[in-house]
Amino acid sequence: MRLKDKIAIITGASQGIGAAFAAGFAKEGAKIVIADISDGAKTVKKVADAGSEALFVKTDVSKEPECMAMAKAAYDKFGSIDILINNAAVFANIVLKPFTELSSEEFKKVIEINTSGVFHCIKAVFPYMKEKGGKIVNISSASILEGIPGMPHYVASKGAVMALTRCMARELGDFRINVNTIAPGFTHSEGGDQFDRGKALPLPPLDELQLQGRCIKRPSMPEDLVGLALFLSTNDSAFITGQMIVHDGGLSLH
Ligand SMILES: NC(=O)c1ccc[n+]([C@@H]2O[C@H](COP(=O)([O-])OP(=O)(O)OC[C@H]3O[C@@H](n4cnc5c(N)ncnc54)[C@H](O)[C@@H]3O)[C@@H](O)[C@H]2O)c1
């Protein structure tokens, strides 16, 4: 087991890609802290079914004090924090629309969750990681390469996650903390499918739009991302930091 007795905080793990990470990490022996604004009971059960243990801590990552309290609760329960996967984001409910119709409040709200949320959680776990090292994986999005129209707030928030990853890698390297980014392409999570159904701009289903451009012409499922997150959370990637790995079946190659 690659993560035996490791403690992993996974934000936004109540559903979707985060829930797949939780189940996949649990199979490798990790104990999981689910930090999500929505109820985490389903994922707690998935982790138990995979033979491990999970703690759900209701957390809004846009609120720094809640992130601090979540990290403390994780440490109080399990006595360590080894891995942080910054996966929580506003995504499912984003309705594509012309940028002229996007208010500054909507823009700010997305940045507060998708970008500041990552910053808050890194700050929150640092006191518990700084003595013994750790792994931080931030989930960005391949949309930062594609530049999807109609969602500049989301794309900008995810571009900032990559930039933040590089700064944090520099600041945390001396503490033996690796910080890397995964940039998924369109993935059939609950959020991914909801987002696709809710598009207001006249675009065909995202798979239809993207499939032909991919080198690997098949849909991407949340479970596809687990191996990469595991790699970045173990010492198999000990000398890799500040990097972004794009997980989009080769779509962004052209
Ligand atoms: N699915 C895709 O196509 C795709 C593509 C690129 C990137 N991503 C990224 O992957 C990650 C997971 O996406 P997903 O598809 O599983 O989405 P999802 O909507 O299915 O799940 C997101 C989870 O984040 C939680 N969340 C939302 N706001 C929160 C907050 N303020 N505090 C704490 N938790 C909060 C939600 O409750 C939910 O459980 C996100 O960062 C998303 O931007 C997804």
Better-predicted residue by pLDDT, 209 or 21: 21
How far, in Å, CA of 21 to CA of 236, rounded? Answer: 17
pLDDT range class, residue 244, cuts 50, 70, 90: very high
All residues at 6 or more sequence positions from 155 whose CB lies less than 8 Å from its CB, including other chains: 141, 143, 144, 147, 148
Could you tell me the distance, in angstroms and rounded to a whole number, from the CA of residue 51 to the centre of ligand 1?
25
Could you tell me the distance, in angstroms and rounded to a whole number, from the CA of residue 31 to the centre of ligand 1?
21
How far, in Å, CA of 159 to CA of 95, rounded? Answer: 19
Q: Please check whether residue 164 lies inside any domain of the structure.
A: yes
Q: Select from 11, 15, 17, 228 the residue to mutate for testing ligand 1; criterion: most ligand atoms less than 8 Å from CB.
A: 17
Q: Which atom of ligand 1 is nearest to the CA of 17?
A: 16
Predicted local distance difference test score (pLDDT) of residue 195: 86
pLDDT in tens, 118-177: 999 999 999 999 999 999 999 999 999 988 889 999 999 999 999 999 999 999 999 999
Q: Which residues of 126-150 are buried (b: 16+ CB within 10 A; e: fewer)?
A: bebbeeeebbbbbbbbbbbbbebeb
Predicted local distance difference test score (pLDDT) of residue 153: 97
Res. 82: pLDDT tops 70: yes
pLDDT range class, residue 96, cuts 50, 70, 90: confident
CATH code for position 194:
3.40.50.720
61 pocket-lining for ligand 1 (C-beta < 6 Å): yes
Q: Please check whether residue 47 lies inside any domain of the structure.
A: yes
Work out the percent of the chain whose per-residue pLDDT is above 70. Answer: 98
Q: Please check whether residue 145 lies inside any domain of the structure.
A: yes
39: helix, strand or coil: coil
Residues with a known catalytic role: 154
Kindly list the distances between the CA atom of residue 160 and the CA atoms of 12, 116, 173, 228, 250, in Å, as whole numbers in the listed order. 18, 9, 20, 21, 22
Q: Please check whether residue 123 lies inside any domain of the structure.
A: yes
Q: Return the minimum-mean-pLDDT range out of 25-34, 62-71, 110-119, 212-221.
A: 212-221
Q: Please check whether residue 60 lies inside any domain of the structure.
A: yes
For residues 6 and 27, the answer to whether their CB atoms sit within 8 Å is no
CA 140, 144, 145, 146 torsion-angle sign:
positive
pLDDT in tens, 163-190: 999 999 999 999 999 999 999 999 999 9
Predicted local distance difference test score (pLDDT) of residue 207: 74
Q: Which atom of ligand 1 is nearest to the CA of 188?
A: 1
89 pocket-lining for ligand 1 (C-beta < 6 Å): yes
Phi-psi region at 178: left, alpha or beta (left = phi > 0; alpha = psi -120 to 50): beta
Res. 202: pLDDT tops 70: no
Predicted local distance difference test score (pLDDT) of residue 78: 98
What pTM value is reported for the model? 0.97
Q: Please check whether residue 241 lies inside any domain of the structure.
A: yes
Could you tell me the distance, in angstroms and rounded to a whole number, from the CA of residue 18 to the centre of ligand 1?
7
Better-predicted residue by pLDDT, 94 or 68: 68
Q: Please check whether residue 2 lies inside any domain of the structure.
A: no
If you ran DSSP here, which 8-state letter would residue 145 be given? H
pLDDT range class, residue 112, cuts 50, 70, 90: very high
CA 35, 39, 44, 49 torsion-angle sign:
negative
> What is the number of domains present in the chain?
1
State the residue range of the domain holding 231: 7-253
Predicted local distance difference test score (pLDDT) of residue 200: 63
Overall average pLDDT of the 17-29 stretch: 98
Predicted local distance difference test score (pLDDT) of residue 254: 66
164 pocket-lining for ligand 1 (C-beta < 6 Å): no
pLDDT range class, residue 205, cuts 50, 70, 90: confident
Q: Whose CA is nearest to atom 38 of ligand 1?
A: 12
Q: Please check whether residue 1 lies inside any domain of the structure.
A: no
Predicted local distance difference test score (pLDDT) of residue 135: 98
